Amino acid sequence: MDAAQFVMPRYELTLILKAMQRPETVATLKRTVETLMERGAVVRALESLGERALPYKISKHNVRHTRGGYFLIDFYSSAKILPTLLDHLKRDVDVVRPTLLRTDKEMGSAPYCFPEPPKNKDTLPRRR
């Protein structure tokens, strides 16, 4: 665990973009990644989860969206730029929903979990 890990934690940005034609989507993604890089983030990977129907209709920037393109951006950056970055993304008309998550800390996982011991059957069943 060196100091660099805390200075530049790893984040994942899940971007839901408006359902657009390919060149416009490309332009939006390029814009977003450039914004990230301007603010000193190191972009690690950009994945596309395809364009699909949203699970529920989302209203954003006076438009009711039914379909969207899902994209994941993995990057390292300092934590100071995140509030301004999110603000920037919320103002972008083509972005329906930006969500930022930290992917550093892995939850400790034991090899397997112990099932709870069987409850005493003498007690009466719960009344609902």
Partner 1 sequence: MLGIRSVKFIQSVLSQHRLKYSVTEHGLRSLSSASPEMKSSDDLPIKMDNPYKEPPKGCILCNITVDHKNVQLLSQFVSPHTGRIYGRHITGLCGRKQREVSKAIKKAIHMGFMSVTLKDPSFMKDPNICTVKHLE
Nearest approach in angstroms of CB 111 to partner 1 is 7
Among 9, 10, 14, 74, binds partner 1 (CB under 8 A): 14
Of the candidates 14, 18, 12, 98, the residue with the CA atom closest to the CA atom of residue 57: 18
123 binds partner 1 (CB under 8 A): no
What CA–CA distance (Å, rounded) separates 80 from 93?
Answer: 24
Among 1, 4, 114, 120, binds partner 1 (CB under 8 A): 114
68 binds partner 1 (CB under 8 A): yes
Stretch that binds partner 1, among 2-10, 22-30, 73-81, 103-111 (CB under 8 A): 103-111
Stretch that binds partner 1, among 1-9, 20-28, 87-95, 113-121 (CB under 8 A): 113-121
Nearest approach in angstroms of CB 112 to partner 1 is 4
Among 59, 109, 120, 123, binds partner 1 (CB under 8 A): 109
